[in-house]
Amino acid sequence: MSTVGTTNSCAAQPAAVSTSGRSVLAGRIEDYFEMAKPRIVSMALVAVAVGYTLGSRGQWPAAPLAAAVFGIALVAAAGSILNQWWERKTDARMLRTAARPLAGKRIPPAEALLVGFTAGGTGFVWLALTVNLTTALLTLATLVLYAAVYTPLKRYTSFCTAVGAVPGALPPVLGWTAAGGTLGIESFSLFAILFLWQFPHFLAIAWIYRNDYAAADLKMLPAGRNTGRLTAALCVVYSLILLPISLIPSQLGLAGDRYFIAALLLSSGYLTAAVLFLKRPGDTSARGLLRTSLVYLPLLLIVLCWDHVQLLR
């Protein structure tokens, strides 16, 4: 009886170790998935697809798009991982980010750094070999600007927001060049729309989490003794400039009157939300502006893409 009992106990051990190993691996994968920020990457890839549709001028070959999406997704994930590697100490000081894998010390920093560089390098080489060198270099530029310039600048100056808006505005340009489009006024108009859209969006976030940023000593604009009026005033200025800029694609032949009307209405709504934030600076109006920004951009891009396709028929 005792022999049978010992045999059963020993036989059970490999299964327990195997189960434990799988759970550790699953946890690691889950942590890296979280660090890659899939929702942000997905939104960037939507912008890539829009730029690709416009740049392909109705041809829309699927294979280059799939190759571009894969490579750009790898580099975007690398940017998020490297961003969190830079900010692991400041993230640990903020309630909103303290539970992140690096801030919570669930992932070793050296490992995350290796994974980030590997993903970024692989994505760059993939794009250079399967898409084109222009797209690969522009994608690499987004990674460098975001992870190596914007992220460390957050500790020193509120100008970091303007720097970070550059890589944030490049996804539709990446799609444009992946489709074979050349860099020009058309691709710049797409860049300008996303560039300007980001300021009210991120300034609203920075205001809502101003205490967190101040606790981490990050030099975001609303930190310190700002009452909110300066932040809100900047939101109004950027959304006001965005309104005519958002209409340019219809003037360049990328879209028609339907897009023009939709862009006018959507941009007016974005401006209204910014004005409401200025009239009553506070978390409630800032959240209203943030929600408006999250509705504005997808709708604008969808209508732009749809109207472009309609023009080609």
At 226 the pLDDT is 59
290/283 Cα distance (integer angstroms): 10
pLDDT per residue as tens digits for the range 66-86: 999 999 999 999 999 999 998
Pick from 140, 141, 106: nearest CA to 124: 140
Q: What angle do CA 244, 248, 253 make, to 5 degrees?
A: 155
Where residue 134 falls among pLDDT bands split at 50, 70, 90?
A: very high
pTM, full prediction: 0.85
Domain boundaries defined on the chain = 33-183, 184-313
At 223 the pLDDT is 52
CATH of domain 33-183: 1.10.357.140
Name the average pLDDT for the chain.
87
Mean pLDDT of 111-123: 95
More confident residue, 308 or 11: 308
At 103 the pLDDT is 86
Pick from 200, 170, 188, 222: nearest CA to 267: 200
Contact 196, 238 (CB under 8 A): yes
For residue 5, is pLDDT > 60?
no
